[in-house]
Amino acid sequence: MKNDIQSVLFSEEELEAIVSRLGAQITEDYRGKNLLLVSILKGSVAIMADLMRRIDLPCRIDFMAVSSYGSGINSSGNVKIIKDLDISLEGYDLLIVEDILDSGRTLSSLMEILSTRKPKSIEICALFDKPERREADVYAKYIGAKVPDAFIVGYGLDYDEKYRNLPYVGVLKPEVYEK
């Protein structure tokens, strides 16, 4: 797997520092609120596991699985809910936890769907942001780091369901996905 990585963007230690910073910021902002963290599977599973342990507040968690990529490298724009939430959003301060905010099309559609379920508030926490690729008018309140317009994998991010288990984030060599 390491042979498929062009360069490492974020080491394990750097990721730990990013998640700790986000956890502290969320703890401060959501003090006294009814926080519900919603992890968008499968990509955000790594950050969700680490982030929720760095939030020093009572909170609930839930999971959604949505798809708009298939096995390609670009979002199709067609959002399909594969696994919906188990609890009602009514009265919760909802924080969507996502691995990467890229075109924004998936999150924009998801925000529309979830807003109809009457949460008290909705915000996004994205580990990574690629603002130059944005196609939809959606922004994350909490951003771990901005990343270049490259195909990155690791720490939950994948290509064709592979590389999620890398403990760091790296740029995938183009020859891997241009086959």
56 vs 147: CA distance, rounded Å: 28
pLDDT of residue 69: 54
Q: Angle formed by the axes of helices 12-29 and 45-52, to 10°?
A: 60
Q: pTM score, two decimals?
A: 0.91
Of 127, 165, 159, which Cα lies nearest the Cα of 39?
127
Is the predicted pLDDT of residue 71 greater than 80, yes or no? no
The domains of the chain are located at 13-150
For residue 57, the 8-state DSSP code is: S
Is the predicted pLDDT of residue 27 greater than 70, yes or no? yes
Banded model confidence at residue 32, pLDDT cuts 50, 70, 90: very high
Active site residues: 102
pLDDT of residue 123: 98
127 vs 144: CA distance, rounded Å: 4
pLDDT of residue 75: 53
Which tens digit of pLDDT belongs to each residue from 108-146?
Answer: 999 999 999 999 999 999 999 999 989 999 999 999 999
pLDDT of residue 20: 98
What distance separates the 2 farthest-apart alpha carbons in the chain? 51
pLDDT of residue 80: 83
Coil, helix or strand at residue 141:
coil
13-150 folds as: Rossmann fold (3.40.50)
Is the predicted pLDDT of residue 177 greater than 90, yes or no? no
Tokens matching residue 81: 């809910």
pLDDT of residue 53: 97
Rounded percentage of the chain residues whose pLDDT exceeds 70: 94
- Higher pLDDT: 73 or 28? It is 28
CB-count exposure of residue 39 (10 Å: 0-12, 13-18, 19+): buried
pLDDT of residue 79: 76
Is the predicted pLDDT of residue 74 greater than 80, yes or no? no
